[in-house]
Amino acid sequence: MSKNIFYKYEYAKDILETELHIRLKEFERKSGYLPVEHIKSRIKSESSINSKLEKKNLEVTTENIFNNVDDVIGFRIVVSFISDVYDIVKEITNSKILYIKEKRDYILEPKDSGYSSYHLKVLVPINIEEKEELIPAEIQIRTVAMDFWASLDHKIRYKFKEDIPEDVQKEMYSYANDIRKLDQRMYELNIVMNKYDEKM
């Protein structure tokens, strides 16, 4: 990846980070509540980008990076409850700066592995030499429980390199179901807690 492309992604990442900060502050102002546990961000390494293109049998070119790798810029927003995921998604989609390219709800429809999260693919406008360019980025919003499972899944996939043994896959899928049940119970508990807040 040339320095010129890298600069554009760094620039877009800074803009996206600022916009997310503004949107979350606005959510907190309106609701009096900020559910975010933590936020992580990264720019994919050149080797990861090349690997992704190679898996798609594509040549490593600037055009192919822009058109086929939507997650060179990645943000992960971890929240407390399932309801918070959708509240934050709504707030982000209200942005007057970002262009929403795609929404993928892996909470309602988890991946075959059991993975759950909400993905927003966005386009971030940057202006260089009085010309606007739209830089792709991905935002993942998930609960603490979902994030714990995804972290464990990532470590297991890294350990095995090749295909994960079937018995391990079944165990991981079982854990994903347990986490979904836990998230639902925590959501229901949050509803009860909110009722107490209303009485105080």
Q: What value does the mean pLDDT take over residues 152-157?
A: 80
- Percent of the chain predicted with pLDDT > 90: 52
pLDDT for 200:
57
For residue 126, pLDDT over 70 is answered with yes
Find out if CATH 3.30.460.10 is the number for domain 3-144. Answer: yes
Quote the pTM value: 0.88
Query: What pLDDT is stored for residue 3 in this prediction?
Result: 63
Question: What token pair was written down for 80?
Answer: 């407390």
Please indicate whether residue 117 or residue 165 has the higher confidence score (pLDDT).
117
Q: Which residues of 15-33 are buried (b: 16+ CB within 10 A; e: fewer)?
A: bbeebbeebbeebeeeeee
